[in-house]
Structure 1
């Protein structure tokens, strides 16, 4: 299996250290550098050419969204997962327009990063196995099929791994107003915890839900979601 080379771009050194420890726990992944500024990130990207960048938005010397746009403008092969505290819908829209692979809100939970990198690995595996493409292959790789009816109700654009039917089920489950964990939502709708968490985090990014971190009896952090 091909090793995924990851670069961390995060100005907060403590958060960057947490991300480093998380990355080193992942299988078939190599950390190729840590940048604490956009200037350092640009240099490391040019030299190391990482497969995947874990990118913050807020830096003292600019915005990670600017770097994302620069990468796309020069057709960089590096993909980007944004890990940020930015909850503004416009930030999410800008990220989607920039072709971000995923959008994860802080505080980062290891399982959420593990799930995102796993989907990225599947994405690369699928691409590497293609010789010529058919429409069904395109529909797997892109977030939505261009053949969907125009009257289908969806957000402006759904990221990879998000579909409207499951999204509506998630909305129905959490509509009671109580706090839910990803595991509880998954059990309620007959899906896995990782699937439920992916959709819940998307709704948090869209501003439809709020996430709070609580600590159980053994001190393990857990994100709970509510309207």
Structure 2
């Protein structure tokens, strides 16, 4: 049976910095873009203070409530090296690994024996132990669903770090609580078209609705 997982480094740039500077652990800090222009990565502690992606550094750095925040310039050489380390951990455990971005990689679970959730938990632990990067994993029968499952896993702060959407029953239970914008590849215009067609959240019938409104999402017509 076709089955994919998407593993994603949590606050990846920040996690890379923490791997080499333990004093940053449990502290609010952000990584800034080239020339320290704006926020491109935040720890959970920084998110809890209301710092958003893209916030201009010069507009928020002097806010009194953000005095505890540590601001760091980006180090893309470090992040690239840590991404490579993460990849090496994965290819030792899964035959087919497809990098999607510097901090996201698809794992092809087809033909692998055993429980995929247990395997994903073991992979997370290995990446944390060897590459020092905390991650979340989403599992699904398509890459789109694996991506969606990963997003759910990251939103569950007290969860296991793994979300499995391989079962249709599980998807049916979770879909009503999600928005169409949560689906990989659906932009604002596509969401608006679906809303006008009466589709407000993901469902097993989304494929039919997509054909009706002429939408195009990544991948083939069976990805849902």
TM-score when normalising by structure 1: 0.27
| Larger Cα-atom Rg | 2
Q: TM-score, normalised by structure 2?
A: 0.27
Q: More relative contact order in 1 or in 2 (CA 8 Å, sep 6+)? A: 2
